[in-house]
Amino acid sequence: MDVSAFCSQSRVLIVAGKGGVGKTTMVAALAHMAAEAGMSVLVVELEGRSSVGAAFGLDEALGYDGAVLRAAGATLVDDHDPSDTAAIPPGTVQARTITPDDALLEYLADHGLKRISKRLMSSGIVDIVAGAIPGIRDILVLGKVKQIERSGIADLVLVDAPATGHTMTFLSSAGGLVDAARGGPLRNQAADVVALLSDPARCQVALVTLPEEMPVNEVIEAAYQLEDKVGIALGPVIVNACHTPVAGLDVPAEDAVAAAGLALDPSVVSALEEARQFRQTRHQLQEEQIRRLARELPLSQLRVPFLFTAAIGPVELDLLSGALAAGVKSLPDPVEVSS
């Protein structure tokens, strides 16, 4: 499948998974891949402590107004128009943070309450309301995502979701409110969010996992829960940090050293042998988990290599997005959408 066809399957792609599996890194890699294919991309960060900018070579944390992470045709950070209604140019990645408080301010302003909204916020009444209506914060944030999706300012909106446990609540809050409330503007907002989440042409989830036992167990459980409780369509599972096979790793270090005509200290040879066995075992264990994932979760997989590096910067981002793109190209066309 062609990269732009893949990225056009739904305008919103929520990238979710267990804590620390590489969600933010995969958001950056997907954004880079889509921009390389000429698409306009908006990354939405929810927790405001994202390192998504770092992968693009940007130091500062993202603000509500956002930042340009990649300008068209270059990876340099550029000036940008902070108004959130301006269309993002093709080949560009922008990012912004959405917090419940900001989303609420905007919601109140849109409903003619702009003058009192600041005062309501500073009086702390919002916390009281939030306590009384479970899930209101999630609904406000997703309501804002829906508004962005509807505005059409970007071809692809990538949402860096909270870690799995919270994602489940985050995505099921709207459904809960629709069931509980009889009417009113908030119920309408929740109903709009449910409509977004349950339409595979508008919104899908890409789950990220590591090729290890516990993360694989969790991703399988999360996938079924997301389908059953939220009714959201799942795109391919991204298997991050896969050890790539190394040629010649099946030859014992001693034989390889002898064949190369090297005279190494025995302690060096035994250290090499240990490293060889470690890497080989690790690779085999990962392959086993990847096969199990394929058996237990009938979704396509996109494999991304583990990079031996201290941090992910623009060079690494290029490699990761290249690996994703290669995976996408080998997906059948059209990709199956599970419902």
Ligand X SMILES: Nc1ncnc2c1ncn2[C@@H]1O[C@H](COP(=O)(O)OP(=O)(O)OP(=O)(O)O)[C@@H](O)[C@H]1O
Catalog residues that contact Mg ion under the rule CB under 5 A.
23-24
Helices (H), 181-313: 185-197, 213-225, 253-259, 266-296
Integer Cα distance of 312 and 103 in angstroms: 30
The footprint of ligand X on residues 146-185 (CB under 6 A) is 163
Could you tell which of Mg ion, ligand X, none binds residue 209, using a CB distance below 5 to 8 A set by kind?
none
Among 25, 167, 189, 300, binds ligand X (CB under 6 A): 25
Smallest separation, CB 21 to Mg ion (Å): 9
**Which residue shows structure tokens 């922008």?**
94
Kindly state whether residue 1 participates in binding ligand X, applying the rule CB under 6 A.
no
DSSP state of 152: T
Residue 161 or 178: the one with the smaller Cβ distance to Mg ion is 161
Exactly one of 11, 23, 137, 276 binds ligand X (CB under 6 A); that residue is 23
Determine which residue in the list 61, 120, 269, 307 makes contact with ligand X, applying CB under 6 A.
307
> CA-to-CA distance for 93 and 80, rounded, in angstroms?
11
Instruction: Identify the helix (H) or strand (E) that includes residue 93.
Output: strand 93-97
Question: How near is the Cβ of 311 to ligand X at its closest, in Å?
Answer: 6
The DSSP element (H or E) to which 23 belongs, if any, is helix 23-36
> Of the two residues 71 and 208, which places its CB atom closer to Mg ion in the complex?
208
Residue with tokens 């990649």: 70
Determine, following the binding rule CB under 6 A, whether residue 21 of this chain makes contact with ligand X. Answer: yes
Decide whether 132 or 311 has the Cβ nearer to ligand X. Answer: 311
Q: Provide the sign of the torsion angle of the four alpha carbons 135, 139, 145, 149, taken in this order.
A: positive
The Cα 337–Cα 339 span in angstroms is 6
Q: How many C-beta atoms lie closer than 10 Å to residue 226's C-beta?
A: 23
For ligand X, the binding residue among 14, 139, 193, 312 (CB under 6 A) is: 312
Compare residues 23 and 32 and give the one whose CB is closer to Mg ion.
23
Of 158, 102, 183, the C-alpha closest to 191 is 183
Contact between 241 and ligand X (CB under 6 A)?
yes
Please choose, out of 4-12, 19-27, 89-97, 172-180, the segment that lies near ligand X by the rule CB under 6 A.
Answer: 19-27
Interacting residues toward ligand X by CB under 6 A: 19-25, 51, 163, 240-241, 304, 306-307, 311-312, 320
